[in-house]
Amino acid sequence: MSRYTAVTPGDLKAMLGAIGVDSVDELFARQVPDDVRLREPLDLPEGMGEQEVYAHLRELAARNVSTEDELSFVGAGMYDHYVPAIVDMLCQRSEFLTPYTPYQPEVSQGSLQVMFEYQTAVCELTALPVANASVYEGPSAVASAAYMAKLHNGRARFVVSAGLHPHSLQTLRTYARGFDAEVVEVPLTAELTFDGDAREAGGGRTDLERWREAIDERTCAVIFAQPNFYGVVEDAPALCAIAKGGPTAASPPVVIAQVDPITLGVLKPPGECGVDVAVGEGQALGGRLDFGGPSFGLFAAREEYLRRMPGRIAGETSDVDGRRGFVLTLQTREQHIRRERATSNICTAQALNALAGTVYLSWLGRHGLVELGELLLARTQYARKVLTDIRGVDTLYSGPAVRELALHIDGDVDLVRRSCARQGVNPGVDLHALTGRAEDRGGLLVAITEQRSKGDIDRLAAVLQNALAEAASPGDHTTGEIVGRQVVPA
């Protein structure tokens, strides 16, 4: 036992006797198969002194380059948006920074009101009537929605668009294996080339015919992203109509959409498209890129799913004197109720990050959200024009895009990214490295935020053009791993 655990030999003997084993080793032997148990010490280097550890960590930290040190077009789920000072100012107040779950409403009115206001904002964003007080992050929100759908209709087959974020798809597959469900992936429409030049407009959306064919009476839920992982805007009303029509009309599957909240200022909200459950990643709402986040998950739904929604829901009430007050109305996490009745086993709501999202949306306001969406739309289209004017660069998909742009480059994406990094620009994400799909070879995913100006996009174009020329020229190129701006020898 750990030397930091206050268990005496007598305590240990009594506990082991109570459960009917003679030793801790016997306890593990009964639970863990012998062929997966580690029989030797972990292969770790010898420990270092404090001064050596500090020097080692300092050297590791020096490899990192933030988005304030280089021009970054990396996105793929986490984005470099401007975070106003008011977000930090309010989130760092002790009454918000230190509290935990508001079990006692009489002393937790501030926290409960924040949760209530957050839910209201999410409902207004998504045009859905109920929202929970956040979940862990975007991918687990997708998987939790799928599990909720399974509880709702008892079926165990998920039809999923290939445009879903790969991390969300991986998380869904992991969950689905746990409750013995099938995941069927529907491809995106391909780009068609005629005479080597003319291309069919609209490529990169979920293939509607394949979507229709995949949905049957066994389908529990259908899941797509809006916009999808490649930045392409889906035909959400058509996807929803297909899911709820045809042979499944009598008992349609639950329609789940993974949405980008920042784009909801210019895209039709999911609730008006026929979506039953909207989930999403909240990092862009007042969150930075520190340590890959932090983030929180959005979750909104129609009222029939209210009692099966994961997490917790704050409600408004009146006290005995008629004054407005707030309470935890529903709590479906196993932290609060019996495990067999719980619909979620993640006991982290990321409430402080959800508060940041609430403050950010309040700061931005209704008109600001629209203006931001229009700005992202305009700059994405400008980036598409400027970047595809470069010889050797084309769009991977030609469908309408916002916030993110999938390009195809004639060259080694890894070499091109290294060359750009040496010039102080991170041009985007290597699509094939992230998805592993053959059709993504040569793909570069470029993210646009309001932090990336027209001049920044022009600089990216110049650097990318130079990098392509360098990658195409004969000679030995530096190899190694890109870490921020540096190239660390392999």
DSSP readout, 331-367? E-BTTTS-GGG-SB------HHHHHHHHHHHHHHHHH
Q: Kindly state whether residue 219 falls inside one of the protein's structural domains.
A: yes
Q: Kindly state whether residue 60 falls inside one of the protein's structural domains.
A: no
CA dihedral of residues 7, 8, 11, 12 (deg, nearest 10): 80
- Clarify whether residues 283 and 430 are in a common domain: no
Give dist(CA 299, CA 306) in Å, integer. Answer: 11
- Give 3-state DSSP helix, strand, coil % of the chain, rounded to 5: 40, 20, 40
- Clarify whether residues 343 and 473 are in a common domain: no
- Clarify whether residues 213 and 251 are in a common domain: yes
How many domains are contained in the chain?
A: 3
Q: Among 23-37, 73-87, 109-123, 431-445, which is the least confidently predicted range?
A: 23-37
* For helices 24-31 and 9-19, angle between their N-to-C axes, nearest 10 degrees: 40
pLDDT above 50: residue 305: yes
Q: Which domain holds residue 421?
A: 71-81+366-488
Transcribe 186-247 into DSSP letters.
EPBPPPPEETTTEE-TTTTSB-HHHHHHH--TT--EEEEEES-TTSBPP-HHHHHHHHHSGG
Q: Kindly state whether residue 57 falls inside one of the protein's structural domains.
A: no
Residue 424 sits in a domain of what CATH number? 3.90.1150.10
Q: At a CB cut-off of 8 Å and minimum separation 6, what does 337 contact?
A: 331
pLDDT at 100: 76
What tokens appear for 57 in the block?
A: 């960590």
- Clarify whether residues 282 and 322 are in a common domain: yes
Contact between residue 327 and residue 112 where contact means Cβ atoms under 8 Å apart: yes
The 10s digit of each residue's pLDDT in 1-52 is 455 667 888 999 999 999 999 998 898 888 898 888 888 888 998 899 999 9
* For helices 138-153 and 166-178, angle between their N-to-C axes, nearest 10 degrees: 40
Selection from 116, 103, 177, 148 nearest residue 345 by Cα: 148
Q: Position 187: which residue type? A: P
Contact between residue 243 and residue 220 where contact means Cβ atoms under 8 Å apart: no
pLDDT band at 307 (very low <50, low <70, confident <90, very high): confident
